[in-house]
Structure 1
Amino acid sequence: MAPPELTQWLFSPIYSQARHTEHRRLLVLSGEYDWVNKSLTSILSDISPSLTVKEIGAENSLLRKHLLGKECDIGVVHSHQGFNPGNLMAIAGTIRWGGCLILCCPTLDSWHLHTRPSHLSHGFTASRSPYIKRLVAILKNDADVAIWNSNNCHIPDSVASDTFDSINRLTPITSESPINRIVSENARATQPVDDEQTRRPQFKSLEQQAAFDCLTNKWSQDNRKAVITAPRGRGKSALVGLFVASRLKKGEKVVITSAIRENTSTLFKHIRIGINSPNSEENKLESKTTDNELSTAGTVTEAAFAVEDFVSEAVSNQASESEKSGSAQWLAPDNPTLIDGDFDLLIIDEAASFALPVLKMLISAHDNYVISTTLQGYEGSGQGFMQRMLPAFNAEGALHLSLSTPLRWTKNDKLENLIHNICLFEGTESFNTFNEVPREARRGVRQEILRELQRKAPTDKSSNDYRIGLVSALSEHELHCVMQLLAAAHYQTTPDDFMRLYDSPDIVLCTQWDDLRLIAAAIINCEGGDPLADVSEGIADGSRRPKGHLGAQRLTLLTANPATASYRYWRINRIAVAPHLQGQGLGTRLVSYINGQALAQHIDALTSSYGASDKLNHFWQQCGFTLVDMGEKPNKASGETSALVVKCISERFGPQQEVLSCLFTHSQATDIVPISKLPTITRNILIKKLNQFVNATRPLNQVSLAINALAAEVSVSTQCVKHTERPTKACTSGTDEVTSELLLLLSRSPLPTNKLTKLLDVNGRKALTESLRKKIGYMLASITI
């Protein structure tokens, strides 16, 4: 039975008449699985049916991607089967004013001993989770967190809990001022910001109203491109919905897209609100608009607007007959109509969750768009998104607005501050960058820092303060700096990355500091060597693909040599330089420091895999790395083709570097050379790969170049070609017959799989592969090299 005092403390804010002023609360239910579930049932048994409860982490519970745009009163995180920081952040972002979060977890004192990281690379072990240990320490030291276990129930003091406790080092969420100033300046130009009487009823804050007015004014000036960013719970979707409603009244045709349709329910709700005149009926309308309306069908054609699947007849009847008819509909990101359709306005909701190629394609297809994305989002780094996309927006003159005033919870909400201090994922205090400095002033700040660095003597340690070690050894201040820099520098950095970095024994962090300011950082993965000894043969022939060791595995697969996996590698996974100091050679010097440390640690080679671009190719070349492999397909998230570079450190790796260079030279050749004419090193490896393909360990996409060379050899020697009266006749997949037509197709790069499937009279890629294995086996046996 839940202690009455606990339920009173937990739920009283929800039932309070002043709920909109109450902080949200956190209860930790700690203990054995059965006890925790029983206790949770007891706690939730007496709540009002009107309250909304959402759960995550349990079997059959919601996936976190389905929580975007949702709201609830009580959120529950189940952690006995594994803890996921992204789940915690996701559910916390849905909880309304005065609501509560319940974290169900194992016994706190031993939780870190029971956690087995799912992201461990092959051959590495971890008996505990430093991340969980840090999490538990934060929870225990927070005076505003209630903890209930089988032996004790700690309930925060009701008076103390209503006062912000600075000793917990909770950092208030601050606005993203360089962007937010665009909104603030417009707000000052139209009304006094602190005068709540000037706020129109459909808006929940003066900031939201000012942003709407700014957006509308820009649209009237034919500047019809905008980007809206905000942390969760700031009314971003509501703002977009109200703006769409204003365009519908102008008779415009609007298309809306998002990764998941249900996540736009709040946006569509506010489209409905926006078409009504602000009056007392608005609250009634809003209260009746629920997620259940997702199933409401119908399109209104005689009213001011038509919102597909969302607009009811009752709402449409309130539109003025004199207004033009507009329409709004949701389309999936892969719907061709989204590109080919005739629309006046494109809305992209939660853009940071989109793959960059898709996002760029959508933007290029529309003259008028409003893009919105969440900052501090579990689905990806909003800051990283802006780093990658902002130049394109700026080039098009897009308006950039930001919302900072929380509307789903109170300002300086204790739960939000706690979550951000746990996850260290954006929104934390700026320890090491100049986000609060106007853009025009940053140039001066940057030059001042550079002059200061240049003034320091080479022997001054503070100017070359490089550090290397485990992430878990960092102080809280250093952790804040590192995670903020990584989130700002990389697209789709998630809170889960922090836990992986903190817990993984095979990850090393290298940083450069200037006093307390972080200048640059690099994440290094330790790969190869003894951890791969038991699977090196399988990696080399393509039959095994153990977890982790991305660089070591790729090199071993390239060379088809198990010995390649035995070398020790450091793979530079991520490298980031503070934005205001980029282009000054700091990244190059950091890599040079890593090179020296690798030499001291008897590492054989440095590697890195990255999305290829002229800028990055030049950077790694300047650092002394050699390009040894290019991926075949662009990465779905970034749209870039992955490149692999290597730098030899030890003498014993020298021959391997030569082999890799020979293979890469062959892969980049435009002419197809018969296999017998290739250098001995390249020829032997290609034949080895072909035999592995025939033996069904190596897939087809990894032997296409080898097949090209073999087909060229057979075409020249004609030793196994069976000339027939009808050479264009399809080969029978069950025979060893190889016709000139087949050889012609096998000589093309890339392999024309559709034509090969038709020629061999097979159905599907699997059948094609099986047929080709027989053909290649016969061709190999028929040539003499």
Structure 2
Amino acid sequence: MGKDEFFNDLAESIKDGIQRNYRNLVFIQSKDSYLKMKSVLKLYLSIKDNVSIVYGFHPWIKEAKDRMRELREELEDYRFEDVDYSNAEWYMGNTYDVVIMDMTDNFQPNNVGRMVELCRGGGLIIIYTDNLKENKLFKNSIMRDGKVLSFYEDRFLRKLSEHEGIFIINGDVFQSRTFTGQVESPPERKVESKNAPSEIHELCKTVDQDKALEGLYFIMSSGKRSISITAPRGRGKSAVVGLFLASLSSEDRKKPLKVYVTSPSIAGASQIFEFMVKGLENLGVEYSVKKNSNVISSVNTESMKVSYIPPDAAYSEEGDILVVDEAAALGIAYIDMISRTWTKTIMVTTVHGYEGSSKAFSKYLRKLADNRKIKLKNISMDYPLRYAKGDPVEKWLYDALLLDAEPELPEGDLSILSYEEIPKEELFTDDSKLRQAYGIMVTAHYRNNPDDLMIMADGVHHIIRVLSSSSYYVSVAQLSEEGGMDDDKVELAINGGIFDGDLIPDRVIKHVRIKEFGKLHGWRVVRIATAQEIQDKGLGSEMLRMIIEEAEDNGLDWVGSSFMGDPKVLRFWIKNGFIPVHVSPKRNEKLGDFPVVVVKPISEKAKKIVSIAATVLKEKLLNTLHDVYFNMNPEIARLLINGTGAHKEIDINPIYLDKVLAFVKGTSPYESSADGIHMLVLKYFWDSKRKWSIMPDEEEFLIAKVIQGKPWGNVSAVLSSSRSQVTEGIYTSVAEMLNRYYGLTIDSPLGVMISQHGDLNERMHLD
């Protein structure tokens, strides 16, 4: 195709897009891509008036900044905003006519996903780069020993050619595919029953938003309730929550309603606050706001106080409603904890989004609601706000980034399975296989993003294994080759340096201080997943067994994994013989969990190091759960402590034992005997040779109260138990431990005598 024909096609397609409210995209790969980008932009500006432009780039790279500044000067008569890719989420509520992505210095799928969604119907997206595969920041971070693959970029380029509404300039070669499909007009808006004021419904743009607004009033009825709002990006789900909060502000109350909003970042919650303010202004309700980093962090009216709090702060705050934006990104362990302490929660999450798939999350939420006797309402939203339904660029985006990967339901005899490696060339050139394999990962795990797929595709040290039944994959694992570090890298790790790759050796070296582990070779299981419909049948464990066998055959020293602390996931690894060796001292700010590292040692040297690491971890937890890990879920703490298998003999002097006995006999309150109880509990958890155990819930009571030092009310809330259940559980478990270890019972006499117990000074190590 000639250049003139290309630009004629593009011009006609832009005009058609403006008329039918869909978007077009131009991809430019050329040494003079910047100049070609300006030619494309000039064409659009000649067709449409009053154009708004957003420009994505990396501001710390001088050449990128120079290009942006030059373009800004040339477009001084237009609304022009520049966006640092790392801050793109701060702009997710904005809409522009033209979105320009400078990918000269970096190509990163997450950036593409976020920036494309800023473009409105009738708009144009321009991606320009010199070469998609060479000298890119994110790609270089995937490199191992100077090697990196390009399977992801090859597929990305292929998808550009396959879809309509996409125009490609590759050097001097021009290719256009105008959109010939149909788009859907929005259905007529009719609101049957109005709980919300008409002034609020005026701000809704779709029928879905109207219905969601009315549906949110479900939360205001009595009892423990939760609402789950799921939708693809750009459907206005966060906005409608903000409008709902504004509508509640119009109601008179004796006592102001207290609402907290949390999300992985304050930027992620910005839409809720912005639309609450819009709603209040439409209602004529007086309000005041506070801002953090130029983003609204709280809105107060006479009848309501709405504030943003970080995810971990939601554990201890008290209020009437908790709104969790991008709930799937925060994970099921987090949702489990807040569902214990909050009576009313609104969960907002993205279907096929960049923060994770909501399918696994929604399934979990239904199960949680049943177990906790929570009344749950699901609200889904489908019609896009910014552009017409059927938009060709959205279709391309979902295909290119595999945002809508859904595996087929496995069929046939699951007792006959094949364990095999999938060559990446085969996987990334066969969409049916890729969608099946990656779809299992996405739908089984709630935390995935487009960057993950590129790492899997392009990392030479990332390998893929599957369990298959006939023509279907049933389980998939992504493995990363780690270890074999040179001396310089080991020294960098021990001295606190940061580098890409070798995650497990790095954590062991930094926190256990044993440098030899860096020399060992192992596999880190990045992801392991089984198709949702056939989970809990032992297929994941079978997959793991085969991975370990292969690792042994290959002479590896260990197999391990790193993941966000979640009870179900942690139980899976411990059940399969993996030992916890590290827990991050810092909770992941965005995801709300403590990252955990587990290892299954194979070689003798690995077994020795892992044994030491497990002992160090157990000591660290028991010594710092009251401080560093105060907000750790007691169930996670219990699994980690018991999972280490580390043993140590603990002696308790007679005075402290007598204090415990006095507590058991009821002559001393808990607070007066707490020091003795603490020592007895430490003895119990350090004793990995005992053939008996107290109940798991009793262990969690002891961890929360005795080891973490939580107030009684907090223990009850966190563990969803009444005060009487907690006190009874602690009493029963302490009495059992005292009897089993020392033969002391409620009938044993109180008091310590020197003649009975020997030299107390010596036994207490006193001078």
TM-score category, normalised to shorter length: 0.5 to 0.7
Q: Distance in 1 between matches of 2:605 and 2:355?
A: 43
Instruction: Say which SS state the counterpart of residue 543 (structure 2) adopts.
Output: helix
| Deviation, structure 1 residue 663 | 4.8
| Deviation, structure 1 residue 596 | 2.6
| Deviation, structure 1 residue 11 | 3.1
Query: Aligned in 2, Cα 1:188/1:595: closer, same or farther, shift over 3 Å?
Result: farther
Instruction: Say which SS state the counterpart of residue 522 (structure 1) adopts.
Output: strand
* AA aligned opposite 1:567: L
Maintained 8 Å contact 1:470/1:507:
no
Alignment of 1:237 with 2:187, yes or no, is no
Please, which of 147, 171, 180 is the counterpart of residue 168 of structure 2? 147
Maintained 8 Å contact 1:245/1:275:
yes
Q: Distance in 2 between matches of 1:453 and 1:154?
A: 47
Q: Distance in 1 between matches of 2:540 and 2:57?
A: 39
Maintained 8 Å contact 1:357/1:638:
no
Alignment of 1:92 with 2:116, yes or no, is yes
* AA aligned opposite 1:134: R
Alignment of 1:419 with 2:431, yes or no, is no
Instruction: Say which SS state the counterpart of residue 115 (structure 2) adopts.
Output: helix
TM-score (structure 1 length as normaliser): 0.63
Alignment of 1:371 with 2:347, yes or no, is yes
What is aligned with 2:24? 25
Alignment of 1:489 with 2:444, yes or no, is yes
What is the percent sequence identity of the aligned residues? 21
Query: Any residues of structure 2 matched to 1:301-700 within 5 Å, and which?
Result: 304=285, 306=287, 308=289, 326-327=303-304, 329-333=306-310, 344-352=320-328, 366-383=342-359, 385-386=361-362, 391-394=367-370, 395=372, 396-425=374-403, 427-428=404-405, 430-433=406-409, 452-453=412-413, 463-474=416-427, 475-529=430-484, 532-535=485-488, 537-538=490-491, 541-542=494-495, 544-557=497-510, 560=513, 562-612=515-565, 615-649=568-602, 653-665=603-615, 668=618
Query: Aligned in 2, Cα 1:562/1:31: closer, same or farther, shift over 3 Å?
Result: same
TM-score (structure 2 length as normaliser): 0.64
What is aligned with 1:129? 150
1:567-618: per-residue Cα shift (whole Å, max 9, x none)? 2211112211222222211111101111232233332322223445664454
* AA aligned opposite 1:67: Y
Maintained 8 Å contact 1:54/1:75:
yes
What is aligned with 2:12? 9
1:434-459: per-residue Cα shift (whole Å, max 9, x none)? 9xxxxxxxxxxxxxx6xx536x5xxx
Maintained 8 Å contact 2:218/2:377:
no
Query: Aligned in 2, Cα 1:89/1:633: closer, same or farther, shift over 3 Å?
Result: closer
What is aligned with 1:282? none
What is aligned with 1:225? 226
Q: Distance in 1 between matches of 2:496 and 2:15?
A: 59
1:233-252: per-residue Cα shift (whole Å, max 9, x none)? 22313432332233222236
| Deviation, structure 1 residue 93 | 1.8
Unaligned runs of 5+ in 1: 165-171, 174-186, 192-198, 277-284, 286-299, 311-323, 435-448, 457-462, 674-708, 710-785
Maintained 8 Å contact 1:232/1:377:
yes
Alignment of 1:210 with 2:211, yes or no, is yes
Q: Distance in 2 between matches of 1:589 and 1:334?
A: 35
Query: Aligned in 2, Cα 1:272/1:582: closer, same or farther, shift over 3 Å?
Result: same
1:19-73: per-residue Cα shift (whole Å, max 9, x none)? xx43321111221244345435534554655332222234362422112222222
Query: Aligned in 2, Cα 1:232/1:638: closer, same or farther, shift over 3 Å?
Result: closer
Please, which of 97, 105, 108 is the counterpart of residue 81 of structure 1? 105
| Deviation, structure 1 residue 207 | 3.6
Q: Distance in 1 between matches of 2:617 and 2:341?
A: 35
* AA aligned opposite 2:502: H
Query: Aligned in 2, Cα 1:57/1:433: closer, same or farther, shift over 3 Å?
Result: farther
Maintained 8 Å contact 1:523/1:575:
yes
Query: Any residues of structure 2 matched to 1:171-182 within 5 Å, and which?
Result: none
Query: Aligned in 2, Cα 1:336/1:628: closer, same or farther, shift over 3 Å?
Result: closer
Q: Distance in 2 between matches of 1:667 and 1:212?
A: 48
Instruction: Say which SS state the counterpart of residue 27 (structure 1) adopts.
Output: strand
Query: Aligned in 2, Cα 1:627/1:10: closer, same or farther, shift over 3 Å?
Result: same
Query: Aligned in 2, Cα 1:609/1:56: closer, same or farther, shift over 3 Å?
Result: same
* AA aligned opposite 1:61: V
Maintained 8 Å contact 1:373/1:382:
yes
Maintained 8 Å contact 2:417/2:468:
yes
Please, which of 162, 167, 181 is the counterpart of residue 163 of structure 1? 181
Query: Aligned in 2, Cα 1:121/1:515: closer, same or farther, shift over 3 Å?
Result: same
Query: Aligned in 2, Cα 1:256/1:601: closer, same or farther, shift over 3 Å?
Result: same
Instruction: Say which SS state the counterpart of residue 520 (structure 1) adopts.
Output: strand
What is aligned with 1:39? 39
Maintained 8 Å contact 1:26/1:146:
yes
Q: What root-mean-square deviation, in Å, do the aligned CA atoms of Structure 1 and Structure 2 show?
A: 4.3
Instruction: Say which SS state the counterpart of residue 466 (structure 2) adopts.
Output: strand
| Deviation, structure 1 residue 422 | 0.7
Mean Cα deviation higher: 471-480 or 148-157? 148-157
Q: Distance in 2 between matches of 1:386 and 1:392?
A: 10
Q: Distance in 1 between matches of 2:112 and 2:621?
A: 54
Q: Distance in 1 between matches of 2:261 and 2:41?
A: 38
Query: Aligned in 2, Cα 1:274/1:223: closer, same or farther, shift over 3 Å?
Result: farther
Q: Distance in 2 between matches of 1:225 and 1:202?
A: 25
Maintained 8 Å contact 1:233/1:409:
no
Maintained 8 Å contact 2:57/2:101:
yes
Q: Distance in 2 between matches of 1:139 and 1:344?
A: 48
Instruction: Say which SS state the counterpart of residue 112 (structure 1) adopts.
Output: coil
Mean Cα deviation higher: 514-523 or 590-599? 514-523
Maintained 8 Å contact 1:256/1:349:
no
Q: Distance in 2 between matches of 1:353 and 1:639?
A: 9
Alignment of 1:257 with 2:253, yes or no, is no
* AA aligned opposite 1:453: D
